Amino acid sequence: MNKPKRIATLINNMLKVLDVIGIPMDTIGERTKIRIAEAVLAVADIKKAFSEAKSVADNHFLTTRQIIDFENKYLAEKASPGSYDDIRRHHLILLIKAGYIMNSSAVETQSTNNPTRGYALTVEFAELLHSFGTTEWENSLALFKQKNEELKEILQRKRELEKIPVTLPDGVEIRLSAGEHNQLQKDIVEKFLPRFGFGAEVLYIGDTTDKFLVRNDDKLNALHFFTLEHEELPDVVAYSESKNLLFMIEAVHSYGQMSEIRVDKLKEKLHDCTANLIFVSAFENKAIFRKFSTDIAWESEVWLADSPDHMIHFNGYKFLEIHQ
């Protein structure tokens, strides 16, 4: 680790803490382990000692971009400002799933994909860090483990109650975590597909707590679809067998619209696909759509959840031919 001694000590001590509280990192590379420890130090606002750790009780929330700024300024990191998505997907995900770090959507109703949301330590985790290196550490660790099991049960029950039920075209019900983004995904499945999907079957839909909530690998492979782990994967993928149409649908709340660059990347990845590709940007309403209207790709579609019977076609000759 090429870091000043003080910073290396903070990182190594954080890795020790994460190990004893059960964060599974055996299969994670050394570089990623360091980035995980740095992200936790940033969220906790720890610059010199664990006694500095702040939590949700201090109303100390950092966005992913602020975490990168902290790491670069105080932890001798050289993270790119554009790597903020790695913070959420790779560096904090284990701590969030374990219930040791929470995001502001758990405190107030907010989309889990909102880039302005922040992350904070739970009170219990911050208190545990305060005791690190003191004579109270062993007792605090035992108490933390006991309390955390109880807390995880309470949080799990709360999350289940808040989840959004979604009925797929085949009648199967799934449940998405609460948030505006996932409410839009529900509308796509229950309002858009029945109207414009020609009997389409959902082959993929993800959630922040389960990236592969629905995945039909057999049919995706038969269509020569690209690997689901790819970063360009849209929110919903659905296939109409009767029309041989593959719908690539993005639920756009704060980013992710089907832009020219995005569509080109998807077409490149799907050059062997045997279905006709339909690219759809879904918005909650016109006000949100207007923010992104100049960046929508030609040869794509726009659908508004509050006007579900209509679509906006950025399509040129494809639809002009209908009137010939």
Task: Please tell me whether residues 193 and 318 are part of one structural domain.
Answer: yes
Domain of 191, CATH number, reads 3.40.1350.80
Q: How high is the pLDDT of residue 105?
A: 62
For residue 245, give its domain range. 164-323
Task: Please tell me whether residues 290 and 311 are part of one structural domain.
Answer: yes
Give the distance, in angstroms, between the CA of residue 165 and the centroid of all CA atoms in the same chain.
19
Q: What amino acid occupies position 211?
A: K
Q: How high is the pLDDT of residue 1?
A: 76
Q: How high is the pLDDT of residue 122?
A: 93
* DSSP-assigned states of every residue in 261-295: HHHHHHHHHTTT-SSEEEEEEEESSHHHHHHHGGG
Task: Please tell me whether residues 172 and 307 are part of one structural domain.
Answer: yes
Q: How high is the pLDDT of residue 164?
A: 80
Write down the number of H helices and E strands in the chain.
13, 11
Q: How high is the pLDDT of residue 114?
A: 44
Q: How high is the pLDDT of residue 112?
A: 43
Q: How high is the pLDDT of residue 210?
A: 67
Task: Please tell me whether residues 153 and 171 are part of one structural domain.
Answer: no
Cβ neighbours for 255, distance < 8 A, ≥ 6 positions apart: 115
Cβ neighbours for 172, distance < 8 A, ≥ 6 positions apart: none
Task: Please tell me whether residues 149 and 192 are part of one structural domain.
Answer: no
Task: Please tell me whether residues 92 and 190 are part of one structural domain.
Answer: no
pLDDT along the chain (324 residues), means of 10: 92 95 84 95 96 95 95 94 85 88 65 61 95 95 81 59 80 83 92 95 83 88 85 89 95 89 93 94 95 93 95 75 48
Q: How high is the pLDDT of residue 207?
A: 80
Q: How high is the pLDDT of residue 116?
A: 46
What span, in angstroms and rounded, lies between the C-alpha atoms of 193 and 197?
A: 4
Q: What amino acid occupies position 141?
A: L
Domain of 86, CATH number, reads 1.10.10.1820
Angle in degrees, 0-180, between the axes of helices 64-74 and 30-44, rounded to the nearest 10: 100
The bridge status of strand 236-240 relative to strand 311-314 is unpaired
Q: How high is the pLDDT of residue 109?
A: 41
Q: How many CB atoms lie within 10 A of CB 57?
A: 12
Task: Please tell me whether residues 24 and 108 are part of one structural domain.
Answer: yes
**DSSP state letter for 148:** H
* Residue ending a domain, choose from 128, 161, 194: 161
C-beta of residue 200 within 8 angstroms of C-beta of residue 239: yes
* Residue ending a domain, choose from 161, 176, 205: 161
Task: Please tell me whether residues 123 and 189 are part of one structural domain.
Answer: no
Q: What amino acid occupies position 245?
A: L
For the chain, the domain total comes to 2
Task: Please tell me whether residues 152 and 220 are part of one structural domain.
Answer: no
Q: How high is the pLDDT of residue 113?
A: 45
Task: Please tell me whether residues 303 and 184 are part of one structural domain.
Answer: yes
* Residue ending a domain, choose from 161, 184, 199: 161
Task: Please tell me whether residues 9 and 127 are part of one structural domain.
Answer: yes
Query: How far is residue 112 from each of residues 96, 137, 232, 240, 301, measured CA to CA in Å?
Result: 12, 34, 19, 29, 25
Task: Please tell me whether residues 146 and 258 are part of one structural domain.
Answer: no
C-beta of residue 104 within 8 angstroms of C-beta of residue 118: yes
Q: How high is the pLDDT of residue 159?
A: 60
